[in-house]
Structure 1
C-alpha cells in the first residue's frame, strides 16, 4: 500500500468518526457515554442499548427486571449484582422486544413500548438539544448546544441518593416494595412542612413518622426546624450535611470509596459503600439502629421481634396475610363481633406493646378493672397494662407497630372458645419481604407429627446423633491439627480477617503513623489499654493514635477488636478510622476530638464548664452507653467509664472513647481469678462486683456513670479522701456526699454538694434530677441500678427545664 493510499484511508476514518460519532463508539469496545440528538437505543440490540459514564463507574440503559420486562435505569457497572441507583419507569416496565429509547429533536427523551405507547418521557422542550450524557457522578443529563443542562436524573430520585446529589424540599425517596423488587413501596423520605428531614411509613391503612424519634422533640433528636432552605447532600468524602442539623460521617469516611444512600425495602435509610475487590456492599451508616422501630414493618396486628435478626410474628389467633409481603400484616382466624354480649377472654403476651391507637388511658386501676373497660367497649381490641408504681391501663382500638417492650404486657381480646396454647411464644418469620417466607405456628414444632411423620422424625434424630458423634471426632482432629500447625497458618487467617475489615477501615503503616505523630511526641492521654498521641495525616486530617499495650496480643485479637468496632456507629462515641498491625506494633487511629477529656474541664482551674454544658455532657454520655448496651449490633460493656474517657468535641458534645476494647480483653481470660487480675476499670469508678467476684454485666458501666455525673455536679474527685468533721475519721468524698444527701433536707444538700464555681446559675430541677440519677446508678446492689435507656428517658424529661431556674 502506497503512502497516498494510507493517508486517504486515515482521512476516511477521521471523517466517519466525526460524522457518525455514536455509531462508531457503539461498535467499539468502549461504550459511549452520551446519546446524540436523534439517536435511539433498542432493547433488543445488546451492543447498543447501553451508555456508560466516562470512568465506567455507571451504566445507563435497558435493565432487565423480570421475564421479558425491562426498565430504563442507571446502575453501578462493577458491583456484583449491578445495583440500580435510578429508574425511570419503575412502575411501568416495557417489553423485551421492540421497545426503544430516543432523544427527539424537540428535546424530549422518550421511552416507547413495543406497541408504540409512551411508557416514560422527560419534560424537556427545547429546539437546541445536543445530547444526553451520563456523567461520572451517575447523573444522566440532557444538554443543549452550549453545554447547559436542561434536564437531569438527579432531580428525580427513586430510592437512592448518590454523592453530590442535592436533596431538596420538592424531592422524595421512595423505597422498593420488597427485597429484589423495584416497584414503589410504603416508606418514603422527604423534608416535612416543618423543614425537618423525616422517614415516613405510608401504608394502605395508616401513615406514621418513625424517624427522627417522634416521641421526643427536635432538640433531643439533634435537629432544628428553624431553617427554610430544606436542603441536604452526601459528599464524596462520606459526610452528610442537612439544613435541619442532621450531620453525620460514614465509618469509612474518606475519598475514593463509591457510596450510595438508599431507603431500603425495610424502611431503613442506609449509606452503602462498595468493596471494590468483591463488588459487594457494606453498610457504613444507618438511620435506625433497631429495625423494629421502623413503623409498619410487620403490618396490622404483626409483632416485630429480634431473634437476633428482626423477624415478624403473628399473635395467637392470627395468621400472616401474605407471606411475600409482611407489610400486609396478620389477619384473625376468628370473627371479632362488635356485640358486647359475645363472650371474650384475654390472652397475655408478655414484653410486647403496640405503638399508638390508644382509645384512652386510666391510672390507678387493677388489671381486672382494665380488662372490664375493654370488654365494655366494642371498639377495644386489646389492653396494655403497665405497673409503674400504680397500674396504668391503655385500651387499643387497632393493633399496629407491635414490638418487644420489656416493661409492657399486652392482653389480646379474643373469643372465649378460641383454643390457644399458653404460654405464648413468638417465633417470627423473616421481615425482609422475601417470597419464600413462612409463618411459624405458635406453640407447635416438628415433634407434633402423627403416623409415618413420627417415624421420620425418629430416623432424623438417629441420623443426627450419628453425625454428631462424627462431628465431635472431626473437631478433635481439627483442634490437634490447629495446635500443631497454628503458627504457619495463622498469618493466612489474619490476612482473611484484614480483607474482611479493610473495606471499613484504613490500614496504616507503622512508619507512616510514627511520622504523623512526630515520633509519638505529643501525648493526649493514657490509660490501661495504651497511650494516645496527637497526629496529623498526610492529607492534613488531625487524628488520635493509640499505641495498644501488651494486654492486646496477636493480630487475631486486633482483627476481632476491629470487627466489633466496625459495627458501632453513634454520635456520642469516638469514631475509629483505621488501624496498624506490624509485628509487635498494634495501633488504632481515632478521630481527633478538639477539647480534650472531661476531667480537664471538671478538675482543672484553667478550664470550666457551665451548667448547660455539663447537663448536655451527662445526657450525651448516657445516650452513648445506652447504645452500647442495647442498640448496637455487637453487645459491648465499656468497663472503664471515667472523665478521662469522655472526650469533648469543638461544640463540647461528649464522645466516649475506648468503648470497643473492654469486651475484647475478657475473651482469653478463664475463671474469676484471672478476670480480677485483669481488671480494666479505674479505682474510684469500679463497681463493687469487681471486688466481690460477681459476674460482670452492663451494670458496671451504670455504676461508673453514676460516679461521673455526681462529680459533674460537685466538681471534685469523689475518690479523693477527706476528714469527717464529726469524728475526724477519713472517708472518701463519695461517702461524704452520700451521707450529706441522706441526712440533710433537699434545699440544704443541693447548696452543699453543688460546685461553687457554677455560682447558682443552674436549673434547680436538673440539679436534683442529676443527683438522684447519680445516687441511683451508684447503688452497691446492682439490681437496684437503672438501665442506661431508663437514665436517658429520665434526663430527657428534664431537658425542657433548661430555662433559667436558679437556686435561691
Structure 2
C-alpha cells in the first residue's frame, strides 16, 4: 500500500489528500463518534445538521461562560433552542463534551467536574447525531434512538417536537441571561396547557384567563393524554383543544420556533431568511400587563402602549432598574385600626388575586368600611359592573391599569403621608426589555421592545411572493412533504396532527363549489352569501365581497389576521380568494342560519336558548375587543349577523369586514357610516371617533330584542315630526318609568308573551338592565363587553 502511494505524483497526492480531508470532514460534521469529544477551545468543534439549519457545540457570551447548546445557524443572533444544564455554564478553557465508551454523553468543566450527562450509561450508544429537525440524538449501531434532546426542552419547542406532561418550557431569567426564569409553559394537572409565574414570592397562573373555567376559555380537560405539537407550516394543536396557526402557512421552507420568552409571553416565530430576523406570527397574550409577576410586588403595569412598571402613590421602587423586586412602601406598612388613614383613587386599576374578602351588590361606603375594619387590608377594589362588587386586598400583586377595567383601586395610606401626585402612574421601562430586534405580523397591539419601527416590508414581501406562486403546487407540495417525511415520534406515540384548514382558494374552485353561485343564503351590505360544497365534502358559506379595492398583499394581510381568530362564538373562516377583482371569504356553514329567523318568527326560541344567545354574543365581542391578537370592531352587530349552530350556540359572523372595507388609517376613525339603521350608535351620526363602544350599543339593541321577541330597531312616527322616536327609545323610556314607579311586575310585562311565563326572572332582569346601559347615548356610560360577560355569568345558573 505504501508503494502504491509513493507512485502518485506529488501534486496529485496533495490534491487527493485535501479532497479526502474535505470529504471526511463534511461527511462527519453532524456526527460525533463514540470515544470522541468537542472542545470549548476549538471553534471548529461544531456539529452541523445536514441541511445546515442547526449547529451544536459550545455557545459563549463573552464572559467566559459557555453552554453546550443547539442554535439556528442562519439567524442573525444565532438563536439558541436547547441547552444542557442552562443554570451552570462551563469555563472557556479546558471544558469539553465527550461521548464516552460507556455510552454516556458527558459535559465536564475545566476541573473535570461533571456539569451534565445523559442517562445512557451501559448502553450500546454508537454515535451522537444532529438531525435536520434540530434534535440531537444518541443512536445505537442499528440506528435506534436511545436518547434525544427533544425530550428535554429548555425554553423552545421546534416543529414536530412532541410536548407532553413530562416536559415544560421555562423562560430565561432576563434578556441577558440564559438561567432559568420564573415563567413556564406546561400541562397542568387538569390536562390543560397553561402559563404560570412561579417566582420567589408567589405562584400565579395567568393564561388562559384565570377568571374563567376551562370550557369558557375554549379548552377541555377530558383528554388526559396531555400532548401537543406543531408542524413546519406553523399549525399548533393540543389535546386540550388549543389550536392556532401562523399567518404565513402558505410559505414553504420557513423555519419556526415556539418560545417561552423572558417577558412571560409564549410566542410563535418565523425566520426571515433574507435578514436573519425573527417575526412574531402568534402570541398567547396581546397585552403584556396580563402577565402576572411582570412588575413585582406593590407595582402596577401600565400599557402606554408599551408596558411600563409604576409604583403607586406612597410607594417607591425597591431596587432601581430591577422591577422584579417591585415597590416598597414609604411609610410603616402595618396600619393599625386606630391610625387615621385615607384612600387614594387609582382609576381603572386592579390587583389580581389575594382577596381578603368579597362582597357582591354592596355600596361603596360598605366596601370602604370593610377595608377599614381589617388591619391587613392594603387597598380595596370597587367595581360597578354586576351591581357593585367589593374586593379587599391583603397583598398588592399583579397590578395593572386598563381603560377597559370597569372598576378602581382605592389605596390605603396614612393621613399624614403627603401625596403630590394622587392617582398618577408614571411608569418606566421593564427590566425585562428585549435586546433583540423583533418584528410583529399584522398586530399593532403587540409590543416591539427594542425598536419603535414595525417592519411591515417583510410581511408584505412574503404576501406579494405568494401572489406569484401557483396555489395548487404549494398545497400539493406541502401535502407530499408532510406525507413523505411525517414525524416518526408522532407515529410512535399514536398522536395524529390535525391541521388548520385555513387556506387560499382559487376563484375556479369556489365557482365550482357553489355551482356557479347558484344557492344564495342571504345578502347584506358587504355582499351576498352562497352555499357551497368543497372537494373534501365540507359544506361552506362563500361570501362574495363587493366594493373591495385593496391590492392582493393588503387584502391577504387583513384576511390572514381574521383567519387566525378562533373562538367558539365566532364563525370560523376556512379561507379566502383574491384574484383580480374577485374577493371572497369562505366560512363554516351554519345549518340553523341567523338569529332573526328564529327570534322574529312563529318558531320562537325558548328562554334557555335566548340566554345562551345573549351570553355567547357577549363572549364573542369581548374576545374581539379585548383578547385577540388584533383588536377588531365588528361595526354591524345585529340578529342577521348572529348565526346558530346545531346546539343553538350563537356565532358572530362578518367580524373584521369593517377593516377590510377601510384600510390605511392608523386611527380608529372611519370615513363613512357603517352598520344597519336602528342598531347604529349615535356617534356614527355625530362625527365622534368610532370605538368598540359602537358594538356595545348594537349589542344592547340585540339583547333587548332577544327579551322582547320583536324588532326594536324600526322607526315610528307619533303625530308630529318633533315626537319622532324609535321603538327602542320608547321601549327604554317605558321600562325606566316602570322601574322608577316601583312596579314589581315590570319584567313580566315586557318579556315575549309567547314564552307563557317560562323564563328566569333574574336572568331577564339582568339582560334588560345590561341592554339599557349598553344603549346609553353617552358612550362613556356604556359598559365594556368584558363586564357584560361577567355580569351574565353571575346569573348563569339562576332559573
Look up the match of 1:786: 783
Shift of 1:132: 1.8
Aligned alpha-carbon RMSD (Å): 4.8
Check the 8 A contact 1:74/1:84 in 2, yes or no.
Answer: yes
Task: Output the CA distance in 1 between the equivalents of 2:467 and 2:336.
Answer: 62
Shift of 1:302: 0.9
Check the 8 A contact 1:565/1:660 in 2, yes or no.
Answer: yes
Check the 8 A contact 1:220/1:796 in 2, yes or no.
Answer: no
| Residue 213 (str. 1) matches residue 206 (str. 2) | no
Task: Output the CA distance in 1 between the equivalents of 2:269 and 2:767.
Answer: 39
Check the 8 A contact 2:337/2:375 in 1, yes or no.
Answer: yes
| Residue 187 (str. 1) matches residue 183 (str. 2) | yes
Q: Deviations over 1:439-462 (max 9, x none)?
A: xxxxxxxxxxxxxxxxxxxxxxxx
Equivalent positions of 1:193-592 (< 5 A) are: 193-253=189-249, 256=252, 257-337=254-334, 345-361=342-358, 377-386=374-383, 394-404=391-401, 406-431=405-430, 433-434=432-433, 498-499=460-461, 513-518=506-511, 521-522=516-517, 526-531=523-528, 547-550=544-547, 552=549, 558=555, 561=558, 572-573=569-570, 585=581, 587=583, 589-590=585-586, 592=588
Look up the match of 1:705: 699
The more displaced of 713-722 and 217-226 is 713-722
Shift of 1:108: 1.0
SS at match of 1:195: coil
Task: Output the CA distance in 2 between the equivalents of 1:285 and 1:494.
Answer: 15
| Residue 47 (str. 1) matches residue 47 (str. 2) | no
SS at match of 1:270: strand
Task: Output the CA distance in 2 between the equivalents of 1:712 and 1:373.
Answer: 39
Task: Output the CA distance in 1 between the equivalents of 2:433 and 2:664.
Answer: 40
Task: Output the CA distance in 1 between the equivalents of 2:521 and 2:24.
Answer: 59
Give me the TM-score of the superposition, normalised by structure 1.
0.75
Look up the match of 2:25: 27
Look up the match of 2:633: 637
Shift of 1:377: 4.7
> In the alignment, which of 95, 120, 140 is matched to residue 99 of structure 1?
95
Look up the match of 1:172: 168
The more displaced of 585-594 and 106-115 is 585-594
Q: Deviations over 1:414-464 (max 9, x none)?
A: 45554431334212122251499xxxxxxxxxxxxxxxxxxxxxxxxxxxx
Unaligned runs of 5+ in 2: 436-454, 473-503, 719-723
Q: 1:184 to 1:232 in 2, by over 3 A?
A: same
Unaligned runs of 5+ in 1: 437-492, 725-729
The more displaced of 375-384 and 552-561 is 552-561
SS at match of 1:199: strand
Q: How many residues align?
A: 721
Give me the TM-score of the superposition, normalised by structure 2.
0.76
Task: Output the CA distance in 2 between the equivalents of 1:270 and 1:372.
Answer: 44
Shift of 1:93: 0.7
Shift of 1:120: 0.6
SS at match of 2:401: strand
Shift of 1:118: 0.8
Shift of 1:303: 0.3
Q: 1:548 to 1:330 in 2, by over 3 A?
A: same
Q: 1:376 to 1:614 in 2, by over 3 A?
A: closer
Check the 8 A contact 1:363/1:393 in 2, yes or no.
Answer: yes
Task: Output the CA distance in 2 between the equivalents of 1:733 and 1:391.
Answer: 30
Task: Output the CA distance in 1 between the equivalents of 2:222 and 2:468.
Answer: 37
Q: 1:654 to 1:374 in 2, by over 3 A?
A: closer
Equivalent positions of 1:573-722 (< 5 A) are: 573=570, 585=581, 587=583, 589-590=585-586, 592-593=588-589, 595=591, 597-599=593-595, 602=598, 615-632=611-628, 634-647=630-643, 654-663=650-659, 665=661, 675=671, 678-691=672-685, 696-710=690-704
> In the alignment, which of 63, 73, 76 is matched to residue 77 of structure 1?
73
Task: Output the CA distance in 1 between the equivalents of 2:361 and 2:592.
Answer: 49
Shift of 1:247: 3.3
Q: 1:773 to 1:382 in 2, by over 3 A?
A: closer
Higher relative contact order, chain-length normalized (CA < 8 Å, sep 6+): 2
SS at match of 2:184: strand
Shift of 1:628: 3.2
Task: Output the CA distance in 2 between the equivalents of 1:636 and 1:343.
Answer: 47
The more displaced of 566-575 and 409-418 is 566-575
Check the 8 A contact 2:406/2:787 in 1, yes or no.
Answer: no
Check the 8 A contact 2:701/2:775 in 1, yes or no.
Answer: yes
Q: 1:180 to 1:590 in 2, by over 3 A?
A: farther
Task: Output the CA distance in 1 between the equivalents of 2:336 and 2:771.
Answer: 52
